[in-house]
Structure 1
Amino acid sequence: MRVAIQGEPGSFSHEAAVRMVPECIVVHCAFSAEVFGALADGRVDAAVIPIENALAGSVLEHYDLLLQHEVLVEREYLLPIHHNLIVVPGTTIADIRSVYSHPIALAQCRRFFARHPQITARASYDTAGSVKQLMAQEDRTGAAIAGAGAATHYGAEILERNLEDSAQNYTRFFLVKRKAEAVLSPAADKVSVAFEVQNRPGSLVAALQSLAGLGVNLTKIESRPVPGSPWHYIFYTDYQLSSPEMAEQALALLAGHCSMVRELGRYVTAYPEAE
Structure 2
Amino acid sequence: METKIAIQGIKGSFHHQVAALYFSEKVELAECMSFETLVKNVVSSKTTQGIMALENSIAGSIIPNYALIDTYNLNIVGEYYLDIHHHLMGLKGQSISEITEVQSHPMALLQCADFFAKHPPIRLVESIDTAETAKRIQAQNLKGIGAIASRTAAILYDLEIIAKDIHTVKNNTTRFVILKKDREEIPKDEMNKASLKFELEDQPGNLAKVLTMISDYGLNMTKILSLPIITTPFQYSFFVDVVFESYHEYHEVKKQLVQMTRHFKVLGEYKNRKL
Q: Is the structural similarity TM-score above 0.5?
A: yes
Distance 2:187 2:16 in 1: 24
Q: What is aligned with 2:163? A: 160
| Alpha-carbon distance, 1:96 to partner | 1.6
Partners of 1:121 and 1:208 lie apart in 2 by 42
Deviation of residue 143 (structure 1)? Answer: 0.6
| Per-residue deviation, 1:70 | 2.6
Report the more deviating stretch, 4-13 or 247-256.
247-256
Q: Distance in 1 between matches of 2:200 and 2:31?
A: 37
The 1-side partners of 2:123 and 2:208 are apart by 44
Contact preservation (8 Å) 1:51, 1:172:
yes
Q: 1:253 aligns with which of 232, 256, 269?
A: 256
Contact 1:189/1:267 (8 A) holds in 2: yes
Does residue 11 of structure 2 align to residue 12 of structure 1? no
Aligned to 1:267: 270
Closer, same or farther: CA 114–185 of 1 in aligned 2, 3 Å: farther
1:53 aligns with 2:30: no
- For residues 130 and 111 of structure 1, the distance between their equivalents in structure 2, rounded to whole angstroms, comes to 21
Structure 2 Cα separation of the partners of residues 230 and 158 of structure 1: 49
C-alpha separation between the residues in 1 aligned to 2:228 and 2:48? 30
Normalised to the residue count of structure 1, the TM-score between the two structures is 0.94
Report the Cα distance in structure 2 between the residues aligned to 1:136 and 1:59, rounded to whole angstroms: 30
Query: What one-letter code is carried by the residue in structure 1 that aligns with 2:146?
Result: A
Q: Say which is worse superposed, 225-234 or 214-223, in terms of deviation.
A: 225-234
- The superposition leaves residues 220-249 of structure 1 with CA deviations (integer Å, 9 ceiling, x where unpaired) of 111112223222211111111121122221
**Unaligned stretches of 5+ residues in structure 1:** none
| Matched-pair contact (CA < 8 Å) for 1:185–1:268 | no
Q: Which moved more, 1:6-15 or 1:162-171?
A: 162-171
Match of 2:186 in 1: 184
SS in 2 for 1:262: strand
Separation in 1, partners of 2:100, 2:229 = 41
Q: SS in structure 2 opposite 1:194?
A: strand
1:61-140 equivalences under 5 Å are 61-140=64-143
Query: Could you report, residue by residue, the CA deviation over 1:184-219 in whole angstroms, capped at 9, with x for unpaired residues?
Result: 243111111111111222211111111112121111
Equivalenced residue count is: 271
Correspondence for 1:144 among 130, 142, 147 = 147
Are 1:193 and 2:196 matched, yes or no?
yes
Q: Deviations over 1:129-157 (max 9, x none)?
A: 11122223322222110001111111111
User: Conserved in 2, the CA contact under 8 Å of 1:211 and 1:253?
Assistant: no
SS at match of 1:17: helix
8 Å CA contact 1:5–1:47 kept in 2: the answer is yes
Q: Is 259-268 or 135-144 further displaced after alignment?
A: 135-144
Aligned-partner Cα distance in 2 for 1:261–1:119 = 49
Pairing partner for 1:206 from 191, 205, 209: 209
User: CA distance change for structure 1 residues 85 and 40 in 2, over 3 Å: closer, same or farther?
Assistant: same
Moved segments of 4+, more than 4 Å: none
2: distance between equivalents of 1:226 and 1:121? 35
CA distance in 2, matches of 1:107, 1:257: 39
Residue matched to 1:226:
229
SS class of match (1:66): helix
RMSD, aligned α-carbons: 1.4
Contact 1:77 1:270 in 2 (8 A): yes
* Whole-angstrom CA distance in 2 between matches of 1:96 and 1:185: 53
Q: Normalised by the size of structure 2, how large is the TM-score?
A: 0.94
Q: Percent identity?
A: 31
Residue identity in the other structure for 1:169: N
Q: Which residue, out of 24, 29, 39, partners 1:26? A: 29
1:198–1:257 CA contact under 8 A, matched in 2: no
